[in-house]
Chains A and B, each alone.
Chain A
Amino acid sequence: MGKRPVSAEFVFATAQYESGDWDSAPLLPANIIDTIARYTEIAVAPTGVIVPLSDDRMLRYPLLYLTGHLPVRFSDAERRNVRLFVERGGMLFVDDHNHDIDGTFHKTATQEITRTVGPLIELPNDHQLYSAFFKFDGPPTTSHELNGWGDNLVHKHLLAVMRGGRIAVLYSSKDYSSEWNYHPDSKRFMSIDNTRFAVNVVVYALSA
């Protein structure tokens, strides 16, 4: 294999927005990067980046991860950039750190997404996303969905905004932000790596 150019590396990017606690899962990026490097031969940058949605530089990271607990209200610049990001083929992965369907994050984030790029629809559990690398029957359940702090519901589907047959915005109420927010070394204590679904998200974004 030839020398791998730096520009070809996948960079895990966390979206920073003005209205909420965008940095509520600080250990997640390193954990996902570790997972990508562990299971795939995708060239991945060893550290992630944080990019403000209001900054044009966000367009240089076609997969953006966005999370938080607090209300989401995009500024005009954020809204303009997110709209352009989706139109040009980027994929925004939004995860509700509250793991519920009536919380402020869920209500405001889905409103904001609908307003900015279009309505969210249920993603079928046989979608290509669930077989992009590992095989899943649907979105993997998290330990936070039934722990009494949320709505006591297992969310059976993820939501998505589709563009040209592909996922432009992937919305999760599963609280993967809590599920994956730990140091990568802790994986050795797990019988099954619970971050494997992140590989599917990244592989789907890079190939679909």
Chain B
Amino acid sequence: MRSPRSQLEFACRVGVFALLGWLLGASLIPSTGRRAEAVAGAALESRLARWTRRPLGDALHVNLDATPSAWAVDWLAALQHSGHSVTWTGNPAALAISADAVADPRGGARIEIAAPTNAKVVVRDDASVIDSLRIANLGGSMIVPEVVGRLAATAGGEVAGISPPDSARIRSIVVVGQAGWEGRFIVAALEGRGWPVIARFSVAPNVFVGQSTPPALDTARVAAVIAVDTSLQGLGATIERYVQSGGGLILAGSSSLASTAASLAPGALGARFRPAVLPRDTISLGSTGFYPVASLKPDAIALERRGAGVTIAARRVGAGRVMQIGYDDSWRWRMAGGPGSDAAHAAWWSRLVSSVAYAPSGRRSEVEASSAPLAAMVARIGPARPIPTGADARPPVDRRIYMVLIMILLLTEWASRRLRGLR
């Protein structure tokens, strides 16, 4: 009968041999079980090199708070293509940014942001922070006068970036109507903002000032036509062809009463709304008279209302855009308004023209992945999925522990034998 001490020594020796045998077997016979490894997003980039050395077929999973950098996504996609199962979970913000050149001689860019509702998005370029906005209804936009370097939008830890847009190619604006203050000051406003303007004002039957012959309406030369009144009739069917081919048209005041405008206008004109201000009151745009746009066509949208009346409406016609403006004496705002009203009048008209003008810019041949990082990641490695069932998600045991255990067992046996006086 062995003493308990010798039983312990025997057990230690058996344990040592068992561990050595297990390690030998594990090194000679590959494991048939599918292993999984999960990592937090913050540690992903440091883990990628190790994941690359893992046996093919292992499930690699990352828990994301924000979309990884583009190169990390590329690496994950490469692991996926090489046979690993790459999955992710988490809730990165679905952030996207796009920027287009504003059709304005002074330049500028219109920045569109898509982000979760109520997210606070900070927009910046290489120079500084431009602005921030609180997202309502999944999107927001802003117009900035200038962009320095790349644009970036940040929401939480998510960053979307995009190259600045090329500037738009500016073409002429044609203004037609009877000689009057409205047309005269529209021309002054647009020229003051740098638009090349071709004016053709009627002063008597078959007598025009400005351009004497009807302008050739062609999107290669004309970005938009502004009709101040029913003189638009003189352009005949060419105006519809022009709009269908992408040209912009602004029907101001009573111009949509012209029969050639009937099929193009977003709506019909109601009875003119009389100015609500007394002569000595400060004049603003909303206090001047206007024709309310009534009976909007189904594809038309109201862009501005005054009281119960629609003052500005718009619709697409073919490839072009048509805007109907009820105001017919915006010049009063420019001349008799408060301080800065002349500049405000010019900026307002320039914005209206920009919104309909045919002004193509150099389009990017492909969308930058960085402009919508989450969408780009989903396109590369798929949507969020949990770790595949059947994969062993337990973390692998460091085999150095086995060596330490063997050493402890051997030392225990050796110490016990020495204390008993044996060698």
* A interface with B by C-beta (< 8 Å): 1-5, 7-8, 10, 39-43, 56-57, 59-60, 62, 85, 87-90, 132-133, 164, 203, 205-208
Given contact pairs A41-B202, A42-B180, enumerate 19 new A-B contacts (beta carbons under 8 Å): A2-B257, A7-B332, A8-B180, A8-B181, A40-B203, A41-B178, A41-B204, A41-B205, A59-B335, A62-B181, A62-B184, A62-B331, A88-B341, A89-B188, A164-B191, A203-B209, A207-B184, A207-B201, A208-B209
B229 near A42 with CB under 8 A, answer no
Give complex CA distance A28, B182 in Å.
Answer: 25
A207 near B203 with CB under 8 A, answer yes
B209 near A207 with CB under 8 A, answer yes
B179 near A203 with CB under 8 A, answer yes
Chain B residues with Cβ below 8 Å from A7 are 275, 288-289, 328-329, 332
Chain A residues with Cβ below 8 Å from B188 are 89
Give complex CA distance A76, B336 in Å.
Answer: 18
A43 near B178 with CB under 8 A, answer yes
Give complex CA distance A7, B273 in Å.
Answer: 11
The answer to whether A2 and B280 touch (CB under 8 A), given A8-B329, A10-B181, A39-B204, is no
Offer 20 A-B interface pairs, CB within 8 angstroms, sorted by A. Answer: A1-B230, A1-B233, A2-B230, A2-B254, A2-B258, A4-B254, A5-B289, A7-B289, A8-B178, A8-B229, A10-B180, A40-B204, A41-B203, A62-B181, A89-B334, A164-B192, A203-B179, A205-B184, A206-B184, A207-B201
Q: How far is the CB of A61 from chain B (nearest CB, A)?
A: 8
Chain B residues with Cβ below 8 Å from A43 are 178, 180
Give complex CA distance A123, B95 in Å.
Answer: 61
Chain B residues with Cβ below 8 Å from A208 are 184, 209
Chain A contact residues, majority secondary structure: loop
Q: How far is the CB of B346 from chain A (nearest CB, A)?
A: 10
Chain B residues with Cβ below 8 Å from A4 are 254
Give complex CA distance A59, B203 in Å.
Answer: 24
The answer to whether A8 and B335 touch (CB under 8 A), given A57-B280, A88-B342, A206-B201, is no
A5 near B178 with CB under 8 A, answer no
Residue from A40, A59, A164, A207 in contact with B336 in the complex, judged by beta carbons closer than 8 Å? A59
Counting contact residues on chain B (CB < 8 A from A), the size range is 35 or more
In the complex, how many residue pairs between chain A and chain B have their CB atoms under 8 Å apart? 105
In the complex, the 7 A-B pairs of residues with the closest C-beta atoms, listed nearest first: A2-B257, A59-B336, A206-B179, A2-B254, A7-B329, A207-B209, A88-B342
Please, which residue of chain B has its CB at the minimum distance from the CB of A36?
B203
* B interface with A by C-beta (< 8 Å): 178-185, 188, 191-192, 199, 201-205, 207, 209-210, 229-230, 233, 253-254, 257-258, 272, 275, 279-280, 288-289, 328-329, 331-332, 334-336, 341-342
Chain A residues with Cβ below 8 Å from B191 are 164
B335 near A60 with CB under 8 A, answer yes
Please, which residue of chain B has its CB at the minimum distance from the CB of A85?
B335
Residue from A5, A10, A60, A90 in contact with B332 in the complex, judged by beta carbons closer than 8 Å? A60
Chain B residues with Cβ below 8 Å from A2 are 229-230, 254, 257-258
Interface centre among A62, A90, A205 (most CB of B within 10 A): A62
Please, which residue of chain B has its CB at the minimum distance from the CB of A63?
B181
Give complex CA distance A90, B335 in Å.
Answer: 8
A206 near B181 with CB under 8 A, answer yes
Interface centre among A1, A5, A203 (most CB of B within 10 A): A5
Please, which residue of chain B has its CB at the minimum distance from the CB of A58?
B336
Residue from A85, A89, A203 in contact with B185 in the complex, judged by beta carbons closer than 8 Å? A89
Please, which residue of chain B has its CB at the minimum distance from the CB of A89?
B188
B203 near A203 with CB under 8 A, answer yes
Give complex CA distance A205, B209 in Å.
Answer: 11
Please, which residue of chain A has its CB at the minimum distance from the CB of B271?
A3
Chain B residues with Cβ below 8 Å from A207 are 179, 183-184, 199, 201, 203, 209-210
Please, which residue of chain B has its CB at the minimum distance from the CB of A204?
B209
Q: How far is the CB of B293 from chain A (nearest CB, A)?
A: 14
Chain A residues with Cβ below 8 Å from B279 are 57, 60
Give complex CA distance A129, B422 in Å.
Answer: 128
Chain A residues with Cβ below 8 Å from B179 are 40, 42, 203, 206-207
Q: How far is the CB of A56 from chain B (nearest CB, A)?
A: 7
Chain B residues with Cβ below 8 Å from A85 are 335
A89 near B336 with CB under 8 A, answer no
The answer to whether A133 and B203 touch (CB under 8 A), given A7-B289, A59-B336, is yes
Chain A residues with Cβ below 8 Å from B183 are 206-207
A88 near B334 with CB under 8 A, answer yes
Give complex CA distance A57, B281 in Å.
Answer: 10
Give complex CA distance A47, B2 in Å.
Answer: 135
Give complex CA distance A205, B230 in Å.
Answer: 21
